[in-house]
Structures are given as C-alpha cells and as structure tokens.
Amino acid sequence: MKNPIILKSFILCLLIGSFLFLSLQTHHKTLTLTLKPQPSNDLRIRPGYSSYEAYINHQLDKTLNPKLRKIWTTRDWDRKIDVFSSFFQTLKDENLISNESKALCIGARIGQEVEALRRIGVSDSVGLDLVPFPPLVIEGDFHAQPFGNGTFDFEFSNVFDHALYPLRFVGEIERTLKQGGVCVLHVAVSRRSDKYSANDLFSVKPLVEMFRESEMVHVRKVDGFGLDTEIVFRKKNKKKRMS
C-alpha cells in the first residue's frame, strides 16, 4: 500500500504545477495581445517573422545594404534634404515647429531629415535608427526609444510602415513628446510600401485611434518618396488637478 503522505504531497505538487503553468500561459497571451493587437481592416500586420530578432535582421538588410547607403550619401543626399527642408519649412510657417524646438527624426537612416531641420534653423535635432550615422543619427529601436519622458517638442517619421508593433511605435512617440508637442507622420495610404514594410495602412483611422493622448491637427496629401499622406498630431496638455 502506498504511503498516504507521499501520495498527498504528489497530488499537491501536481495541482500547484498546473496552476503555475496556466498562469504563465495567460500572462504570455496577455503580453502578446498588448504588443501586437489583432490587425483591423485598415491596418494589417504582415506575417512571416518567426521572432523579433528575425524582424530586426530583415530591417538591417536594407539599412546596411552597401549599394543603398552609397546612393543615400551621394545621389540622394542633396535631393532629399531639399524636399525635407520644404516640408519642414511649411510646418515652421504654420507654427508647428520653431528654431527653439528639440526635434527627433525616427528611422532617419543617414539623417537627411535631421540635416534639413538644422538647415532651416532647428539646430537641436537628432535622428534615431538601428544603425548610427554620427553626428546626425544615434542608435536605437523605435519600439523602445532610448529617451526619457517628455524629451522632445517635435517628432517626425516616415517609417511607420516599418513598425511591427504599431501601438508600441505610437506609444513611444507620445511618451517622449512634451505636452503640447507635435508629431508629424508621412505614411502610404493609397499605395503599398516596399518589401521591408511590416504593416499596411489603408486609412488614417487606425492612427487617430492609436494616438490616445493627442489630437489630430490636420491630414493632407504629400509627395514624399513613395508616401502620399501627412498626418499631424499634437499631444494634449494634461489639466492640473485642483488641490
């Protein structure tokens, strides 16, 4: 006959183990849903990535491509700076950015956007990309910006389509923007982006829904290197509580 004490201990351990397993599974599912929401009809996440590392490596294939980097630093350098300068000057004329603004360009690669901002007088500007390009671009992941809360007055990006986790991408922008700060996105709505895109956007509605702490300033058509729509948000000022 089996020892009843050993049998009770075995059953107790089995129950505890089952409880912990179910708890971990539940936590994992919650985390996954938080990071990567189910795609809607107007925002679809592209499948095919076996891991986040695989996604990063795919992005690096483009960023580190020697032929592309040569084009970006030679033939495209002045042309892109001129176009970005025109975009930013318009925003400056509309008082959405000023010479005193602290600005961030997300997914800046070799920093033409940063150089354009500096040329129109916004000297405190920096770019963020997976591969640094000193002195214009520092290394970082736009899903987890290496900056403190409320760092910037202005943030610009034309790589929203490269975000595997759009909510994290937007959340990091709103976290690092100051209250009253402005975010400008150039996105593709009427056309599909290249093979390095991680999502496809079919209207601006998902962006409006994701920018929970901001108000939309305007939406307008642009011609920005394959991107057709500019959408501008301003982070809301939180009201101070009455004491």
Clarify whether residues 173 and 61 are in a common domain. yes
Clarify whether residues 127 and 81 are in a common domain. yes
Residues 6+ apart with CB under 8 A from 12: none
pLDDT in tens, 29-64: 333 334 444 456 899 999 999 999 999 999 999 999
User: Count of residues for the chain?
Assistant: 243
Structural domains counted in the chain: 2
The domain of 25 spans 1-35
pLDDT of residue 138: 98
Q: How far apart are CA 211 and CA 234, in angstroms?
A: 9
Per-residue pLDDT of the chain (243 residues; tens, 9 = 90+): 444 444 444 444 444 333 333 333 333 333 333 444 445 689 999 999 999 999 999 999 999 999 999 999 999 999 999 999 999 999 999 999 999 999 999 999 999 999 999 999 999 999 999 999 999 999 999 999 999 999 999 999 999 999 999 999 999 999 999 999 999 999 999 777 788 999 999 999 999 999 999 999 999 999 988 899 999 999 999 875 444
Clarify whether residues 50 and 10 are in a common domain. no
Clarify whether residues 173 and 145 are in a common domain. yes
Q: Determine the distance from the C-alpha atom of residue 153 to the mean position of all C-alpha atoms in its chain, rounded to a whole number.
A: 16
Asked whether residue 243 is assigned to any structural domain, the reply reads no
pLDDT of residue 1: 42
Clarify whether residues 86 and 157 are in a common domain. yes
Asked whether residue 53 is assigned to any structural domain, the reply reads yes
Asked whether residue 240 is assigned to any structural domain, the reply reads no
Asked whether residue 225 is assigned to any structural domain, the reply reads yes
Clarify whether residues 4 and 88 are in a common domain. no
Clarify whether residues 107 and 17 are in a common domain. no
Asked whether residue 241 is assigned to any structural domain, the reply reads no
Whichever domain contains 209, its CATH number is 3.40.50.150
Q: How far apart are CA 89 and CA 104, in angstroms?
A: 16
Asked whether residue 189 is assigned to any structural domain, the reply reads yes
Task: Select from 114, 148, 119, 146 the least CA-distant residue to 133.
Answer: 114
Clarify whether residues 93 and 3 are in a common domain. no
Clarify whether residues 171 and 63 are in a common domain. yes
Q: How far apart are CA 19 and CA 31, in angstroms?
A: 18
Task: Select from 68, 149, 150, 159 the least CA-distant residue to 113.
Answer: 159
Asked whether residue 126 is assigned to any structural domain, the reply reads yes
